[in-house]
């Protein structure tokens, strides 16, 4: 969550944002850094520490005091602070900052965005033309960054050039902030139009959806939930579900997904959607209308559940042992531990998200608060969360099939050992039926 809020503030206000893990560290920054802090944003509690109250008491005795925004409930009799609901929207933080700092509309327009806005390079792969000038950033050690124009307005995109940039590990190109909205309107429209074509072959849909996953990941990380992001996510989820529903036989689609060159994260989410659809048919929990609603929710959750994890290495972590075997930085470790809670909070701002998707996302690693991984799996989670937990684990095993060198029988032995409760074993049984029957 810290990373999402930090990136949102940097993007919205073009601000320098310093993030800490405790109130003491924040106070130390204020005391010792030669920086005039304009505002403080704090969770009411961090790891059971009453961080906001510590900062409020410190600020009360300080002259001049710094405006504070508290995310969550806190009781304090002083002034110069605002508190939000525990389930907040980033837009709410933005409004409070504008009010507390008395920022005018003109000042806001001037400061909130950099002159050049990064856009993920994947967005150019399927588009035909760009509606505005496009730039590449040239970074120099001792000089300011330079932005060199590489495409002109209404320029036909040279996809060979885009491929060449990717081979040189260029991840973003840039547009001017004045062009940002019309650029995304045009590019997302072109991308979505491809997925909406009738009779598009499954392999093309899979490739395009893989690209859209990467673009969605960039947009959510950089800007949070925007109208452009919502449109792209919804079209991708719908396309993935359509592919899954359009294959009566498991084998061809499974082979297509396992061999796809997209990210581990994308293949993982598509496999979860595929297996969940098959399992829902086998367990027969509901009528046709409820089935469609359940599948829509699972498809949505599958697409978004790991989207805040920027590296495939992090997506492959599925338990505490996986996490601690890797020599990760504290920031990356915290990112993994908190990702279920982070995406759950983000989805609360997603317009018309399936009902209960936020709770489902928070529980997808078996813990009700969305922090960490379950040591043992309990039966008091929703039945859809239980289904998701087992199916996700199975998808991990298949994606790591060559590396771990387990037979299908050995994979199921591991699943039965890890999930001894009847509600979980029912899902393992359904997966086994699916594989044996080739459903």
Q: What is the DSSP annotation of 145-194?
A: -EEEEEE-TTEEP-HHHHHHHHHTT--EEEEEGGGHHHHHHHHHHHHHHH
User: Are residues 141 and 266 located together in one domain of the fold?
Assistant: no
48: left (phi over 0), alpha (psi -120 to 50) or beta: left
Q: 63, 87, 111 — which closes off a domain?
A: 111
Residue 25 belongs to what domain range? 2-111
How many CA atoms are closer than 13 Å to the CA of 46, on its beta-carbon side? Answer: 21
Over range 303-310, report the average pLDDT: 95
Residue 290 has pLDDT above 90, yes or no: no
- Which residues have CB under 8 Å from 334's CB, separation 6+? 2, 21
DSSP-H helix ranges across 326-407: 330-347, 357-362, 383-399, 401-404
Query: Would you state the pLDDT for residue 438?
Result: 58
Over range 282-301, report the average pLDDT: 87
User: Are residues 291 and 252 located together in one domain of the fold?
Assistant: yes
- Which residues have CB under 8 Å from 425's CB, separation 6+? 416, 419
Q: Any idea what the CATH number is for the domain that residue 71 is in?
A: 3.40.50.2300
User: Are residues 378 and 299 located together in one domain of the fold?
Assistant: yes
Over range 117-132, report the average pLDDT: 91
**Comparing 9-23, 79-93, 98-112, 119-133, which segment has the lowest mean pLDDT?**
98-112
Number of structural domains, the chain?
3
* Rounded (10°) angle between helices 2-13 and 90-100: 50
- Under 8 Å between Cβ of 314 and 336: yes
* 64 cis-preceded (ω within 30 degrees of 0): yes
pLDDT digits (tens, 9 = 90+) for 150-168: 999 998 999 999 999 999 9
**Comparing 281-290, 319-328, 407-416, which segment has the lowest mean pLDDT?**
281-290
Q: 89, 111, 133 — which closes off a domain?
A: 111
Query: Would you state the pLDDT for residue 295?
Result: 93
More confident position, 317 or 16:
317
pLDDT digits (tens, 9 = 90+) for 235-272: 999 999 999 998 888 889 999 999 988 899 999 999 99
pLDDT band for position 291 (cuts 50, 70, 90): confident
Query: Would you state the pLDDT for residue 110?
Result: 63
Structure-token pair, residue 280: 């829902």
Q: 158, 193, 228 — which closes off a domain?
A: 193
pLDDT digits (tens, 9 = 90+) for 159-197: 999 999 999 999 999 999 889 889 999 999 998 898 888
User: Are residues 200 and 333 located together in one domain of the fold?
Assistant: yes
User: Are residues 134 and 238 located together in one domain of the fold?
Assistant: no
């Amino acid at each position: 969550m810290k990373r999402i809020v930090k990136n949102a503030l940097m993007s919205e206000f073009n601000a320098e944002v310093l993030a800490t893990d405790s109130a003491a560290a924040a106070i130390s920054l204020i005391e010792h850094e030669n920086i005039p802090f304009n505002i403080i944003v704090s969770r009411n509690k961090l790891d059971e520490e009453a961080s906001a109250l510590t900062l409020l008491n410190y600020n009360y005795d300080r002259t001049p005091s710094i405006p504070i925004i508290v995310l969550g409930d806190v009781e304090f009799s002083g002034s110069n602070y605002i508190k939000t609901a525990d389930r907040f929207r980033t837009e709410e933080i933005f409004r409070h900052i504008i009010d507390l700092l008395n920022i005018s509309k003109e000042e806001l327009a001037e400061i909130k965005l950099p002159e050049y806005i990064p856009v993920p390079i994947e967005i150019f792969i399927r588009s035909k033309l760009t509606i505005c000038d496009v730039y590449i950033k040239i970074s120099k050690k001792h000089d300011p960054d330079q932005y060199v124009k590489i495409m002109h307005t209404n320029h036909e995109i040279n996809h060979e050039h885009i491929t060449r940039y990717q081979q040189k590990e260029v991840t973003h190109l840039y547009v001017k902030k004045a062009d940002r909205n019309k650029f995304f309107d045009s590019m997302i429209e072109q991308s979505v139009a491809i997925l909406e074509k009738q009779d598009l072959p499954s392999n093309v849909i899979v490739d395009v959806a893989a690209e859209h996953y990467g673009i969605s990941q960039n947009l959510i990380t950089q800007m949070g939930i925007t109208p452009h992001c919502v449109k792209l996510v919804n079209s991708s989820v719908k396309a993935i579900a359509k592919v899954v529903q359009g294959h009566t036989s498991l084998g061809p689609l499974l082979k297509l997904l396992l061999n796809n060159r997209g990210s581990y994260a994308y293949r993982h989410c598509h496999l979860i959607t595929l297996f969940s659809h098959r399992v829902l048919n086998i367990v027969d929990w509901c009528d046709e209308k409820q089935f469609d609603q359940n599948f829509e929710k699972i498809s949505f959750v599958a697409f978004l559940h790991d989207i805040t994890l920027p590296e495939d290495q992090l997506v492959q972590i599925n338990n505490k042992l996986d996490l601690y075997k890797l020599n990760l930085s504290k920031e990356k470790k915290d990112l993994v531990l908190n990702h279920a809670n982070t995406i759950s909070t983000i989805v609360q701002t997603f317009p018309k998200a399936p009902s209960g998707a936020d709770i489902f996302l928070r529980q997808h690693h078996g813990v009700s608060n969305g922090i960490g991984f379950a040591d043992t799996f309990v039966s008091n989670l929703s039945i859809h969360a239980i289904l998701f937990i087992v199916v996700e684990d199975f998808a991990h095993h298949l994606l790591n099939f060559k590396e771990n060198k387990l037979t299908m029988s050995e994979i199921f032995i591991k699943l039965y050992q890890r999930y001894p409760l009847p509600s979980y074993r029912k899902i393992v049984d359904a997966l086994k039926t699916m594989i044996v029957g080739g459903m």
